[in-house]
Structure 1
Amino acid sequence: MSKYGRKSILVIGTLLIFLLLWQIYVTAFKVPPQILPAPLEFFGKFIGYLTMDGFGVHIGATLYEIFVGFIIGSAMGLVFGYFLAKSVVLERLFTPYIVLAQIAPKISIAPLFVLWFGLGATSKIALVILVVFFPIMVNTIIGIRSVENNMQDLLHILKANRWQRFWSVEIPYSLPSIMSGLKVSTTYAITGAVIGEMIGAKAGLGYLVILGNETFDINMILTAVILLSVIGLVLYLLSSYLEKKVLHWHESQDMIM
């Protein structure tokens, strides 16, 4: 049996054990369905929500916020990271303010974004940009500055211009660090979007979590949470696949089983 087959069996087996324990817990302790429904009962509700008219709008809203915010935040992180890595003056000038923006709890910033940008997607995208920007910027700085001194000296001897340095050396050296930042940022993007939706929104899976809480609908809350987890898993797997393709030449991929 291949390693992928063994992994699949392990994942499915773990899921079945979890569902069995869930059923045993609900049955043994007579947990009311409004607190925690049985697996089969919840599965019926889950399918019902997925086939409900308008439910896809909430999934689409969250995916849109994550995708747009991640793209813009990543691009900004790469650009800022590169210029800050190349200039000590710029780093000393901007880093304190960037760090302050990251230190502030996102749950406290989200209401400000809702006030400034409204209940629509813009406020959530802005929050996603904020949480995605920092890890990519930091990893870009680390990657650019990871170029060895010997390589720098060689480039100087060869009289390589800025473009040649960037394309031939700085990109290959920084890619492993940048890809790690992108993988981390995928999970941050989901967190940023959900926090924004829970503070104030017209649609989205985070909005459904709050709506389910207000209406005491545990099935709606669980459905939204599971969908968010699935989205997070898919995004992480996609970023891992991209990393494997982009860094197929790097030694780090040899350690991945």
Structure 2
Amino acid sequence: MKNAKLISFLLFIMLLVGWEAIAKTMSELVLPAPSVIFMTLYEGMLDGYFLPHIIRTLSEVLLGLILGSLFGFIVGILMGEITFLRKLLFPYVIASQAVPKLALAPLFILWFGFGMTSKVVITALICFFPLLENTVTAIQFTDRQKIELFRVLDATRFQTLIRLEIPAGLPSIMAGFRVAVVMSVVGAVVGEFIGGSEGLGAMIIASQGMMDTPLMFAILTLLTVIGMGLYQLVLLIEKKLLKRYTKEKLL
């Protein structure tokens, strides 16, 4: 494990060194060097230029993630538990996901305006499906023998759901949540691309208009850090939940 992390870090350093060497032979407009990007990022953070945009994008990401994931989890439980509801709604859910969100973004801007609401709705819609799909799968494929045991013990349907189906399906549900976390950043940025004057997505469009490639790369770096940070936070939460569930099983 330690060797793998060390090799990964060394690979990262090698990529940066190679990038720096290649960038020196090219125009900054085409490919800025990592050192130039770092200075742009450092100066922007130092003078507070990036901060309002980071807060705006992070707010959209978190609100959309919470709403979309919560709705996906609840609907996923209902569809997993009720076969009729699953057969009724699943084709419409698939159809809604088949439409590219970039194509829907202008409509949401038209319906909800240029403010934060439209970006949150886009982000929530993107986060909705991974949680729904994984929750339905987790509920459907719960061990039948364990469910029969709960029935023998006169457990109610709700008790079986809370005590067995959700805990047993936790790895699958959390896997969906990890996907939703990564996609939430994409959703917020897509919304800001289409109609936004604030946020990191809007800054990318502005930097493109100014032909400021180092600024664009600096913003992309910030988005990467935000996405990776949220992903690691979810991994930590997942680890604690699974550890707690394992302890409860042993008891």
TM-score, reference length from structure 1 = 0.90
Choose the corresponding residue for 2:11, options 7, 10, 14.
14
* Alignment match, 2:234: 239
* Paired residues of 1:69 and 1:189 also in contact (CA < 8 A): yes
SS at match of 1:235: helix
**Aligned equivalents of 1:138 and 1:116: distance in 2?**
27
Give a deviation string over 1:180-209, Cα, whole Å, max 9, x none: 111111111111111111111021111111
Deviation at 1:76, TM superposition (A): 0.3
Aligned counterparts, 1:1-257, within 5 A = 3-4=1-2, 6-27=3-24, 30-248=25-243
* Paired residues of 1:146 and 1:173 also in contact (CA < 8 A): no
SS at match of 1:248: helix
* Paired residues of 2:28 and 2:214 also in contact (CA < 8 A): no
Structure 1 unmatched runs, 5+: 252-257
**Aligned equivalents of 2:207 and 2:138: distance in 1?**
43
Tell me the amino acid that sits aligned with residue 10 of structure 2.
G
- Fraction of identical pairs, as percent: 34
Structure 2 unmatched runs, 5+: 247-251
Distance change (3 Å), C-alpha of 1:214 and 1:172: same
* Paired residues of 2:167 and 2:245 also in contact (CA < 8 A): no
* Paired residues of 1:136 and 1:181 also in contact (CA < 8 A): yes
Deviation at 1:41, TM superposition (A): 2.6
Relative contact order higher in (CA < 8 Å, ≥ 6 apart): 2
Q: Which has the higher mean CA deviation after the structures are superposed, 142-151 or 130-139? A: 142-151
SS at match of 1:203: coil
Aligned length: 246
Tell me the amino acid that sits aligned with residue 10 of structure 1.
I
Report the aligned-residue RMSD.
Answer: 1.7
Tell me the amino acid that sits aligned with residue 6 of structure 2.
I
Give a deviation string over 1:79-106, Cα, whole Å, max 9, x none: 1001111112211222122111110001
Tell me the amino acid that sits aligned with residue 239 of structure 2.
K
